[in-house]
Amino acid sequence: MSVSRRQVLYVIGSSVVIAAAGATAFSMTRTPGAALRPWSAAGTGYADPRMRALSYAILAPNPHNRQPWLVDLSQKSKITLFCDADRRLPETDPFDRQISIGLGCFLELLSMAAASDGYASDVTLFPNGTSEERLDERPVAEITLRRDPLAKAPELFRYVHDRRTNRSLYDTSRPIAPDVLGQLQNASFSGLTIGTTNTEDGLKQLRALTWTGHEIEMLTESTRMESVRLMRIGKSEIQTNPDGIYLGGAMLEALNLVGMLTRETIGDPQSDAFKQGMDMFRGLLNSAMGYVWVVTDSNSRADQIATGRAWLGINLRATALRLALQPLSQTLQEYPEMAFARVEIHKALGAGPGQTVQMLGRLGYADQVPPSPRWGLETRVASS
Ligand SMILES: Cc1cc2nc3c(=O)[nH]c(=O)nc-3n(C[C@H](O)[C@H](O)[C@H](O)COP(=O)(O)O)c2cc1C
């Protein structure tokens, strides 16, 4: 749908109304408070140490904010973690690789939170085995919490509340110093390598490749529509389904109200909303001032979980360094239309035969953004 002059004027009119009502006051009413409550509730109000640790774990980064975790607490001192099959991303993540990485982020945050509360966590991955094709109904992990006088909060734990996926424009006048970038590589997981770049050639090549990946994902109907279906536009949709891709704030709500920004317009490659979205995204990609990525020597479920654990650390380290970070997963995805770009990104990042690039993210300096919505912890507990 193309945007008519009248619609533009209407939006401008809405903005005037918003301004007249007091822009600050209006935008404050658009904050989806209930959907953000898990951020302030973490660590509070639970007698059970498992619930205290889980209340942090649900703040983990995860693909499309699907929050695929489901836990069973019916066995004393034990947490059994499952993947909620309905929360996978079959088009963009056909083998549940990224979903598994998100579950790895969850496990790392769970262990950090337990440690900060004086508990060691013994984690057994896939106690009943797993499938490399799709995750199934078998548990992803069993975690036993055990009082440990030596357990203490890891250094990075205090950045949990400030960690974000930052999708804004990064400051292209501020390079990232090599020693800052180097600190993101401070992690040791066997069979896993963390790479970074901030060179002119590296930025040029990766800006171009990540754009190619974005174009492919957005011009392939099945993958585009998977994302479009998961869009939550405006406060009411975000509060009803605090997951997926959230488009909040006063301006986006006004555009939605007048029909300029809807699932239909965003999903239609001929629409102005689609074209403007693509232009905007290109600008964001071109503001990358560095990249960080994770490569594993093989691609087992255990490798994917380890990647998630490492990625959570990278995310928190970036937060500590005041670096903004946004994963850019498109070129790493395994559906046929992406095959060529996937080969190119593996070459560009120096991944050898058998190795898999599991995560790639852009880095830079930008203002802090609000936290993303979460389902409340109780909704993710299967039985207790
Ligand atoms: C495996 C994985 C892949 C991701 N891929 C992308 C991506 O391609 N683009 C993006 O903007 N965010 C990506 N993210 C970030 C998630 O969208 C983000 O963690 C989620 O929306 C929750 O937001 P938060 O990180 O601010 O808490 C990815 C995260 C993970 C763990």
Which pLDDT tens digit goes with each residue over 293-330? Answer: 999 999 999 999 999 999 999 999 999 999 999 999 99
Last residue within a domain, chosen from 97, 129, 162? 162
Determine the pLDDT at residue 29: 77
Domain-embedded: residue 23:
no
346 and 217 share one domain: yes
Question: Does 361 sit in the ligand 1 pocket, CB within 6 Å?
Answer: no
Domain-embedded: residue 156:
yes
Task: Give distance in angstroms: CA of 63 to centre of ligand 1.
Answer: 5
What are the backbone angles phi and psi of residue 370, rounded to the nearest 5°? -70, 160
Domain-embedded: residue 88:
yes
Domain-embedded: residue 223:
yes
Question: Which parts of 245-380 are beta strand (E)?
Answer: 245-247, 290-296, 324-327, 356-364
**Position of tokens 């070129």?**
331
The tokens for 52 are 């205290």
Residue 290 structural domain? 178-364
Domain-embedded: residue 118:
yes
Task: Give distance in angstroms: CA of 98 to centre of ligand 1.
Answer: 10
313 and 183 share one domain: yes
Determine the pLDDT at residue 23: 56
Question: Does 66 sit in the ligand 1 pocket, CB within 6 Å?
Answer: no
Domain-embedded: residue 167:
no
The total number of structural domains that make up the chain: 2
SS3 of 115, please?
helix
Domain-embedded: residue 285:
yes
Please tell me the distance from the alpha carbon of residue 215 to that of residue 351, in angstroms, as a whole number: 23
Which pLDDT tens digit goes with each residue over 56-96? Answer: 999 999 999 999 999 999 999 999 999 999 999 999 999 99
Determine the pLDDT at residue 28: 64
Domain-embedded: residue 384:
no
50 and 79 share one domain: yes
Last residue within a domain, chosen from 132, 162, 192? 162
Question: Does 165 sit in the ligand 1 pocket, CB within 6 Å?
Answer: yes
Q: Atom 31 in ligand 1: which residue has the minimum CA distance?
A: 62
Determine the pLDDT at residue 383: 65
Q: Which of 89, 316, 329, when mutated, tests ligand 1's pocket best, judged by the most ligand atoms within 8 Å of its CB?
A: 329
Determine the pLDDT at residue 25: 61
264 and 218 share one domain: yes
Helix segments in 174-249, DSSP class H? 178-183, 200-219, 221-229, 234-240
Task: Give distance in angstroms: CA of 165 to centre of ligand 1.
Answer: 6
Q: Which of 99, 105, 165, 359, when mutated, tests ligand 1's pocket best, judged by the most ligand atoms within 8 Å of its CB?
A: 165
219 and 347 share one domain: yes
Cβ-contact 20, 264 below 8 angstroms: no
72 and 191 share one domain: no
Last residue within a domain, chosen from 162, 189, 218? 162
187 and 331 share one domain: yes
Question: Does 331 sit in the ligand 1 pocket, CB within 6 Å?
Answer: no
245 and 303 share one domain: yes
Residues in contact with 52: Cβ distance below 8 Å, sequence separation at least 6, in sequence order: 43, 46, 113, 117
141 and 79 share one domain: yes
The tokens for 143 are 């975690």
Instruction: Please list the ranges in the chain whose pLDDT falls under 70.
Output: 1-28, 383-384
50 and 182 share one domain: no
Question: Which CATH number do you get for residue 235?
Answer: 3.40.109.10
Q: Which of 58, 59, 64, when mutated, tests ligand 1's pocket best, judged by the most ligand atoms within 8 Å of its CB?
A: 64
Determine the pLDDT at residue 134: 97
91 and 240 share one domain: no
Question: Does 87 sit in the ligand 1 pocket, CB within 6 Å?
Answer: no
Task: Give distance in angstroms: CA of 378 to centre of ligand 1.
Answer: 23
156 and 297 share one domain: no
